[in-house]
Amino acid sequence: MTSAPLAARLTRVAGPLFFPVTAYGPDGALDLGAFRAHVGAGVEAGAAAVFACCGTGEFHALTPEEFRACVAAAVEETAGRVPVVAATGYGTALAVEYARIAEEAGADGLLAMPPYLVVAGQEGLVRHYTALAAATSLDTIVYQRDNAIFTPATIVELAGVERIIGLKDGYGDLDLTQRTVSAVRSERPGREFLFFNGLPTAELTGLAYRGIGITLYSSAVFAFAPDIALAFHRALTTGDDETVNRLLDGFYVPLVELRNQGRGYAVSLVKAGVRLGGLDVGEVRPPLSEPHPDHVKALAVLIERGRALLPEDTALSGGSGADGRGAEAGR
């Protein structure tokens, strides 16, 4: 954990936001060695931040003790080079408990997942996130998706809460997002409030979000093909739309079509991709299930196709995968 404010460290990042998978051994227990290798390789590859134990990291499947161990391992592995943001969630009491565990483990901030199961009104959501933000000294990013959809007025109110620094949008309503951005800009002038594109395979909507001024996004692809993710990020942020569109048409759109062939593939297919890169991070925990073997084979082919589309001067040396050893290492 560093003294620099999280919002400042995330305002103008030079790489994708990395959401590592959580590694398990053959017996299903945590494999902290593999997790450390995965996190370390991501930071070395150019991640701008590590979001540990979030959706891709199977937050829902971790006990508090496992959560603490993973967050602490991520903090130790990054060694202050990039910020570590940890998930928190469930009802308010449990969200506060996980937030305090993350703080004790050295995290720089929190990604607040939607409350468990309930569909709350706007007043209740404000109470929940306000209480969560007050429970620790960590800056908090609110995650909009599923049963936690906010009106612009609610985000304006949350933007006035100390230690709530941003909104990650996993809902994808661009009309609502634009109105929310405009409301915060108009009603909280001078407030440094961050907006993130948090949709699954966020690169697919990167051009649309860039159009309304949102350039921060989570990259699941970075977990298993950092060279492709970095090339796309560089092209998107520099206005190289030719490269953006080439990667969209040849890699990201087919990837989304593959991801949509199975429930839970936003996590399990990513984890399969990490294994294809040569690092054994184990399988997903129930209630998620492994992707069909044919879909894993299709992913391997797609990764190679994506790498063939990269400009020569942007590919990482050797086409490194999640552990830096190359996509062929795990085949």
Contact 155, 187 (CB under 8 A): no
For tokens 């937050």, what's the residue? 59
User: What are the φ/ψ torsions at residue 64 (nearest 5 degrees)?
Assistant: -55, -40
Contact 115, 96 (CB under 8 A): no
Query: How do strand 216-219 and strand 49-52 relate by DSSP bridges?
Result: unpaired
- Helices and strands per DSSP (H, E), number in the chain: 13, 8
Tallying the residues shown for the chain, one arrives at: 331
Helices (H), the chain: 6-11, 32-45, 64-78, 92-104, 122-134, 152-159, 174-187, 206-211, 226-238, 241-247, 253-259, 265-276, 293-308
95 CB neighbour count, 10 Å cutoff? 24
Query: 98 an active-site residue?
Result: no
Q: Which of 98, 143, 209, 252 is catalytic?
A: 143
CATH architecture of 6-227+234-239: Alpha-Beta Barrel (3.20)
Q: What does the pLDDT read at residue 233?
A: 97
Query: 143 an active-site residue?
Result: yes
Q: Label residue 329 exposed, middle or buried (CB < 10 Å: 0-12, 13-18, 19+).
A: middle
Q: What does the pLDDT read at residue 323?
A: 52
Q: What does the pLDDT read at residue 314?
A: 59
Q: Which of 98, 168, 209, 265 is catalytic?
A: 168
| pTM higher than the cut 0.85 | yes
Distance of CA 200 to the CA centre of its chain: 9
Q: What does the pLDDT read at residue 4?
A: 64
Q: What does the pLDDT read at residue 317?
A: 42
Between the CA of residue 306 and those of 203, 243, 284, 298, what are the distances in Å? Answer: 13, 11, 25, 12
Residue 240, classed as helix, strand or coil, is: coil
Q: What does the pLDDT read at residue 319?
A: 43
Exposure on the CB side of residue 150, measured as CA atoms within 13 A: 32
Domain residue ranges in the chain: 6-227+234-239
pLDDT tens, the chain, 331 aa long? 445 689 999 987 889 999 999 999 999 999 999 999 999 999 999 999 999 999 999 999 999 999 999 999 999 999 999 999 999 999 999 999 999 999 999 999 999 999 999 999 999 999 999 999 999 999 999 999 999 999 999 999 999 999 999 999 999 999 999 999 999 999 999 999 999 999 999 999 999 999 999 999 999 999 999 999 999 999 999 999 999 999 999 999 999 999 999 999 999 999 999 999 999 999 999 999 999 999 999 999 999 999 999 988 754 444 444 454 443 333 2
318 CB neighbour count, 10 Å cutoff? 13
User: What are the φ/ψ torsions at residue 119 (nearest 5 degrees)?
Assistant: -105, 100
Q: What does the pLDDT read at residue 13?
A: 84
Q: What does the pLDDT read at residue 12?
A: 76
